[in-house]
């Protein structure tokens, strides 16, 4: 076809042959033209054809390594926060990792916040080509559990938002550890526990571990529409008790309905555990102890915009004995 296309003269003759070529191959017309001219495909004439256009990358592997190391040790901030920190962190990096060349040092100090986010994006979470396997929510429970979309008006602790975080490293295949995050709306008290996969029994066990350490009774739980939450086992766990716990769910594809717990997924989970894959079940017991201590540290010894006098009064009135 390429030889015939070169022998044809006149626009009409080339158009007829191009129509025939597109019909047989199914190629897009512009791409088919480049194939017949030898600019694409095998035996292409021009050396530049098929190569990636544009200038070479400014920031090489050594610069990205420096940025990634500082980013991990500085609690993984975004590019706008990391850029002004580089000048202070770079001397300590060179002290522990070795001195850098002048060119690399200048590139690290001159990189823009947007470029930091771009070059670190593959390091934060990889892209998986495999299909995601997620538990399907129970259709009957979707009708029973009401949707909560209005603003919270909590007057006491006990109303929780819950969500899960995948420690898959960008690959959702096979088994790995998840984190269950539960945040109290009134006080900001947040607990995190690990779960092996997202099965209903594992998530329910994580909820039980969280409930044991809460300094107040659970009054209600608001979750998303995932199958790890909308299942009969977890529904019986909360509603089949002497004082039932109210279960609600957010609107599908509306993450802002759970804004309180979504922000905790970053500050309480990703800043500690990062984005690497945790695919070994042996880590589960040690990780459970770590997250329990981490939650106690975050709740009792770090500041929060919501934790204050009203929180401690609410806790004492809800369960005074737990503080003894």
Please report the pLDDT score of residue 181 as a whole number: 95
Strands in 159-166's sheet, in edge-to-edge order, are: 190-196, 177-184, 159-166, 220-223, 246-249
**Judging by DSSP bridges, how do beta strands 220-223 and 246-249 pair with one another?**
parallel
% of the chain at pLDDT higher than 90 = 37
Q: With CA atoms as reference, report the closest residue to 300 among 270, 266, 273, 323.
A: 323
Let me know: does 78 contact 42? Beta carbons within 8 Å: no
Strands (E), the chain: 159-166, 177-184, 190-196, 220-223, 246-249
H helix or E strand, kind and range, residue 165: strand 159-166
Per-domain boundaries in the chain: 1-52, 61-124, 139-323
Please report the pLDDT score of residue 318 as a whole number: 47
Please report the pLDDT score of residue 195 as a whole number: 95
Query: Which residues 6+ apart lie within 8 Å of 307 measured at CB?
Result: 187, 188, 189, 299
Residue 114, both tokens: 């947007």
DSSP class of residue 167? -
Please report the pLDDT score of residue 75 as a whole number: 77
d(CA 210, CA 214): 6
Please report the pLDDT score of residue 158 as a whole number: 92
Please report the pLDDT score of residue 131 as a whole number: 47
In angstroms and rounded to an integer, the radius of gyration of the C-alpha atoms of the chain is: 28
- Give the model confidence (pLDDT) of 131-154 as tens digits: 455 556 677 778 888 888 777 888
Residue 224, both tokens: 């998303």
- For residues 77-90, one letter each, b for 16 or more C-beta atoms within 10 angstroms of the residue's C-beta and e for the rest, the string is eebeebbeebeebb
Please report the pLDDT score of residue 129 as a whole number: 40
Count of helices and strands (H, E) across the chain: 15, 5
H helix or E strand, kind and range, residue 94: helix 86-97
Let me know: does 157 contact 314? Beta carbons within 8 Å: yes
- Look at phi and psi of residue 77 and say left if phi exceeds 0, alpha if psi is from -120 to 50, else beta: beta
Please report the pLDDT score of residue 307 as a whole number: 47
CATH level 2 (architecture), domain 139-323: 2-Layer Sandwich (3.30)
Let me know: does 288 contact 209? Beta carbons within 8 Å: yes
d(CA 89, CA 67): 10
d(CA 33, CA 307): 66
- What is the CA angle 49-55-57, rounded to 5? 120
* Phi, psi of 300, deg, nearest 5: -105, -25
d(CA 260, CA 117): 24
Please report the pLDDT score of residue 54 as a whole number: 65
Query: Taking the chain (324 residues) in consecutive chunks of 10 residues, what is each chunk's mean pLDDT?
Result: 83 88 89 84 55 72 91 85 90 90 91 91 60 61 82 87 91 90 92 93 94 93 90 91 91 84 90 90 94 93 60 47 42
- Give the model confidence (pLDDT) of 7-65 as tens digits: 887 888 888 888 988 998 888 888 888 888 877 766 555 555 455 666 777 888 899 99
Residue 27, both tokens: 């190629």
Q: With CA atoms as reference, report the closest residue to 107 among 176, 166, 58, 153.
A: 58
d(CA 39, CA 45): 6
């Amino acid at each position: 076809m390429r030889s015939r296309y070169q022998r044809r003269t006149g626009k009409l003759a080339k158009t007829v042959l191009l129509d025939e070529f597109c019909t047989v191959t199914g190629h897009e017309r512009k791409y088919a033209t480049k194939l017949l001219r030898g600019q694409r495909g095998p035996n292409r004439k021009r050396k530049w054809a098929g190569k990636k256009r544009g200038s070479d990358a400014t920031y090489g592997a050594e610069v990205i390594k420096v940025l990634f190391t500082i980013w991990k040790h500085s609690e993984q901030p975004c590019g706008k926060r990391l850029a002004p920190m580089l000048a202070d962190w770079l001397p300590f990096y060179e002290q522990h990792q070795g001195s850098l060349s002048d060119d690399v040092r200048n590139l690290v100090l001159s990189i823009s916040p947007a470029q930091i986010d771009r070059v670190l994006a593959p390091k934060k979470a990889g892209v998986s080509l495999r299909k995601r396997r997620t538990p399907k929510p129970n259709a009957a429970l979707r009708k029973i559990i009401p949707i909560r979309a209005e603003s919270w008006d909590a007057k006491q602790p006990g109303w929780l938002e819950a969500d899960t975080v995948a420690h898959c490293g960008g690959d959702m295949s096979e088994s790995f550890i998840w984190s269950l995050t539960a945040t109290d709306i009134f006080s900001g008290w947040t607990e995190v526990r690990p779960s092996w996969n997202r099965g209903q029994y594992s998530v329910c066990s994580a909820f039980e571990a969280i409930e044991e350490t809460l300094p107040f009774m659970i009054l209600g739980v608001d979750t998303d529409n995932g199958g790890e939450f909308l299942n009969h086992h977890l529904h019986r766990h909360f509603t089949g008790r002497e004082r039932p716990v109210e279960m609600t769910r957010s609107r599908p594809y509306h993450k802002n309905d759970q804004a309180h717990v979504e922000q905790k997924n970053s500050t309480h989970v990703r800043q500690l555990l990062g984005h690497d894959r945790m695919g070994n079940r042996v880590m589960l017991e040690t990780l459970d102890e770590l997250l329990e201590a981490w939650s106690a540290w975050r709740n009792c010894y770090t500041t929060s915009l919501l934790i204050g006098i009203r929180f401690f009064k609410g806790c004492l009135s809800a369960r005074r004995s737990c503080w003894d």
